Structures are given as structure tokens and as C-alpha cells.
Amino acid sequence: MKYVDEFRDGDLAKNIARKISLEANTNHTYRLMEFCGGHTHAISRYGIADLLPANVRMIHGPGCPVCVLPIGRVDQAIRLATEQGVILCTYADTMRVPASNDLTLMRARADGADVRMIYSTQDALKIARMNPEREVVFFAIGFETTTPPTAVAIRQAAAEGLKNFSILCNHVLTPAAMHAILNVAGGVKLDGFVGPAHVSTVIGSQPYEVFAGDYHKPVVIAGFEPLDVMQSILMLVRQINDGRAAVENEFTRAVTREGNRKAQALVGEVFELRETFEWRGLGTVPDSALRLRQKYTAFDAEQRFGVKYIPVSDNKACECGAILRGEKRPWECRIFGTVCTPQTPVGSCMVSSEGACAAHYTYGRFREEIQ
């Protein structure tokens, strides 16, 4: 497959792996966080950890939209579907996230709620047009990559005068989460970031410059193919060896410093910053999420239906929080692989294939079990 196979070439990978081993200083442990779930998935699926020397450690970050969604947000969606009787449209992964009272959106659906799995915001609009007598709510989640399509849908709905469409807005911001990780009390030991791929196509590389400048953490933006990840690790090792901290771009085929101006303008027109937003694992983070601007509040399901956000604490045994902050590894959680599996997820990290726990369980769990 053209433009794909080139980035999965085994010989090239071994070549980069050799360079990383050669250049990584044996007296130093390199603690690198891949922020995005897409990178976590690639690392696990292609067995990249096997190609790295023991002192280059990858720490899985919180960049999985489903994983950072707190229980209370899923509860809100379930309440909309069960108590308000709306048609709730959602991306597939969210269906299986455990909520309060042992519910998930999938179980709510089995109990009679009208929950529909969709592939794009356009599907949600279509459902709204086809069911003018019903209220249709789109469960909008995701980082900067999924925000522009939601903005488009809102503008379309406004232009069409679609009165029965609204969104439960949970769009969150990557740089805010990176700040939160670096400001965790006690501090997560990190030497650098493998920077987001798709998110960066939208926001550009410029927003990461503060992490290199103020926090002295190197950031290398990388694509989601395995060779992208390998190359970015090599670039990070080199920066760390040189004592440098810069934003470098491995993913030049898609990311510029400015990003996608059109998408940014669209998002800016429809959304504004929320003062605070609760993240699973990171707690309440200031200026870390978006809400609809005043002129679009008619499309805000929270206001339209008066469904308040009620915080719910995570299952006590679940270590998703510490894992999302990079403090713990999936298998250091007591319930990993026993009570909590992809079939029976307790925490959100076990739900999406981009979640650190699900990726490790699905692709890498032989490592510690064999030890």
C-alpha cells in the first residue's frame, strides 16, 4: 500500500532502533511520554517497545478522548437518553464506557434508550432532519481533531434552522492537558513528549513551544505510523543528549507551525473556552475545554435540557487516574487483566483501543505475565 508500507518498513525500523541504542546514554533513563492514544496504539500494535533499549521508556499519556471523559459526563449522556427521551448520537467507543449504577450507553440502549452509533457529525444531522418530532443530541467528545467537524455541524444546524438538534459538548484541549501533567503535585518525571499527530495538523506546532521554553521539555511531533514514532524517539534522545529543548516536527508531511487556519477560525467562531472542566485522572483543569459561544447556546444540550454535571469519583480500585498522569503503568493496577479487561472494563483506559490499558492488554500483556 503506497504511502503506508513505507512507514512500516522492518529494515528501516531496525536501522533507527540501532541508532537509538547506539546514541542513548546507558547512564540515563529516558522517560518519554507519547501524549496521543494513536501513538500508544501504534507502539503496542507494532511491538515498538521490543525495538527500544531498556533505558528508553515510553509513558502513555492521556490523549485518548474516551479515557479522559469522567463518569459524570457519561452519566449526563445516559440521563439525556433515558430521562429526556432524546435520540442520543455517539461515536462507537463511548458506548462501552462504564458510568454510574453499573450502566453504559450500550446497556441503556438495551434497556430501551434510543442511543445510536454514528461515524460522523453529518450522520447526527441526518438523523435530526429525518426525525423532526424528536430531540437529537450529539455526544460531542474529543480533542482538537474532532472539534472542527462539530463546529461545522453547529453552523449547518443554525443555517438550516434545525430546531431539534443540540450537542453535549465535551471537547477538550491538548496543550491544557500537557500543562496539567507537568504541574502534577510531586511532578511526573518526564524527559520529553512525542507530540500529537492529528491534533497538530489542526493547531500546528506553535502551541507546544511553551513546553520547550518554560518547562524545558523537548517535544517532537510525530505521525501515527511506526517509523514516525521510532524516528521521533531518536530525535528526542538526541535533544536530551544535547541538553536542548525545542519543538521539532517529524510529521512535516502534515503539520506546519501555524496549523490549519481555516479549522481554527471555524472553531473560534463556534466555541469559547470553558473556565474549568473535570478530566478523568487530571482532575479539574482550568481553561482546558470548550463550550458553545453565546450565539449558539440554543444548541447546547446541557442548557436546553437542564442536565447538570454531577461529579462522580472513580472506582476505588481503578488506577486510570495515575495511569493517565503517567505515574503508573497499566499492569501496576491491581485489577488490570483480572476484574478489568476489554470485555469488562472498569476504568476508561480499558475501553478504547487507544487507551493505555486496552492497548497493553490486547497487544503486550505477555511481557509481564511471562516474567
Find the part of the chain contacting another protein (CB under 8 A) among 41-49, 205-213, 267-275, 290-298: 41-49
Site for another protein in 211-250 (CB under 8 A): 226
47 binds another protein (CB under 8 A): yes
- Whether the CB-CB separation of 204 and 259 falls below 8 Å is answered with yes
Looking at the Cβ atoms of 207 and 364, the one nearer to another protein is 364
371 binds another protein (CB under 8 A): no
45 binds another protein (CB under 8 A): yes
| Main-chain phi, psi angles of 219, to 5 degrees | -130, 130
What DSSP assignment string belongs to 231-265?
HHHHHHHHHHHHT---EEES-TTT--SS--HHHHH
46 binds another protein (CB under 8 A): yes
366 binds another protein (CB under 8 A): yes
CA-based end-to-end distance of the chain: 37
DSSP letter (8 states) at residue 134: S
3-state secondary structure 355-367: CHHHHHHHHHCHH
Looking at the Cβ atoms of 137 and 357, the one nearer to another protein is 357
**Count of residues in the chain:** 371
Minimum distance from residue 6 beta carbon to another protein (Å): 12
Minimum distance from residue 9 beta carbon to another protein (Å): 8
142 CB contacts (<8 Å, ≥6 apart)? 65, 91, 170, 171, 172
Find the part of the chain contacting another protein (CB under 8 A) among 38-46, 80-88, 172-180, 247-255: 38-46
> Would you give the binding string for another protein spanning residues 177-216, x where CB under 8 A is met?
----------------------------------------
Looking at the Cβ atoms of 21 and 84, the one nearer to another protein is 21
Handedness of CA 76, 63, 371, 367 (dihedral sign): positive
- Whether the CB-CB separation of 124 and 89 falls below 8 Å is answered with yes
DSSP letter (8 states) at residue 120: S
Q: How many residues interact with another protein (rule CB under 8 A)? A: 28
Q: Which residues here bind another protein, judged by CB under 8 A?
A: 1, 4, 8-10, 13-14, 17, 44-51, 96, 226, 342-343, 361-366, 369-370
